[in-house]
Amino acid sequence: MLGSLLLAGSRSALVRRAVSGFPVTRKVVDRFVAGEATADVVAATQRLIDAGLTVTIDHLGEETRDAAAAAGTAKAYVTLLEALQPYGMADRAEVSVKLSAVGQALGAEGDRIALEHARTICEAAKAAGTTVTLDMEDHTTVDSTLGILRDLRADFPSTGVALQSYLFRSEADCRDLAYEGSRVRLVKGAYREPASVAHQKKADVDRAYVRTLRILMGGRGYPMIATHDDRLIEITETLADRYGRSRGGYEYQMLYGIRTDKQEALARAGHTMRVYVPYGDDWYGYFMRRLAERPANIAFFLRSFTSR
Ligand code: FDA
Q: Maximum distance among all alpha carbons in the chain?
A: 53
Kindly give the number of the ligand 1 atom that is closest to the alpha carbon of 275. 34
Rounded to a whole number of angstroms, the distance between the first and last alpha carbons of the chain is 29
**What separation in Å is there between the alpha carbon of 228 and the centre of ligand 1?**
6
What was the pLDDT predicted at 279?
A: 96
Question: Rounded distance, CA 66 to CA 191, Å?
Answer: 22
Question: Rounded distance, CA 43 to CA 47, Å?
Answer: 6
Q: Tell me, which fold does domain 37-281 have in CATH?
A: TIM Barrel (3.20.20)
The pLDDT tens digits for 50-74 are: 999 999 999 999 999 999 999 999 9
CA 179 to chain centre: 21
Contacts by residues 179-182 (CB-CB < 8 Å, ≥ 24 positions apart): 179/219, 179/220, 179/221, 180/220, 180/221, 181/157, 181/221, 181/222, 182/219, 182/220, 182/221, 182/222
Given a cut of 70, the residues of the chain with pLDDT beneath it are 1-2, 14-15, 17-25, 295, 300-308
236 Cβ closer than 6 Å to some ligand 1 atom: no
- Pick from 243, 266, 244, 241: which is nearest to 253 by CA? 266
The answer to whether the beta carbons of residues 183 and 133 sit under 8 Å apart is yes
Kindly give the number of the ligand 1 atom that is closest to the alpha carbon of 290. 18
Q: Which residue's alpha carbon is nearest to atom 21 within ligand 1? A: 258
Question: Rounded distance, CA 287 to CA 24, Å?
Answer: 14
Q: What is the pTM for the complete model shown? A: 0.94
Question: Rounded distance, CA 176 to CA 163, Å?
Answer: 12
- What count of residues does the chain have? 308
What was the pLDDT predicted at 245?
A: 97
Across-strand partners of 58?
A: 96, 278
What was the pLDDT predicted at 306?
A: 56
Give the torsion sign (CA, 169, 74, 88, 149). Answer: positive
85 labeled part of a ligand binding site? no
**Does 135 qualify as catalytic in the annotation?**
yes
User: How many angstroms separate the Cα of 19 from the Cα of each of 15, 136, 164, 212?
Assistant: 6, 25, 28, 36
**What separation in Å is there between the alpha carbon of 295 and the centre of ligand 1?**
13
Kindly give the number of the ligand 1 atom that is closest to the alpha carbon of 297. 19
Domain spans in the chain, listed from the N-terminal domain onward: 1-33+283-298, 37-281
145 Cβ closer than 6 Å to some ligand 1 atom: no
**What separation in Å is there between the alpha carbon of 293 and the centre of ligand 1?**
7
The answer to whether the beta carbons of residues 24 and 304 sit under 8 Å apart is yes
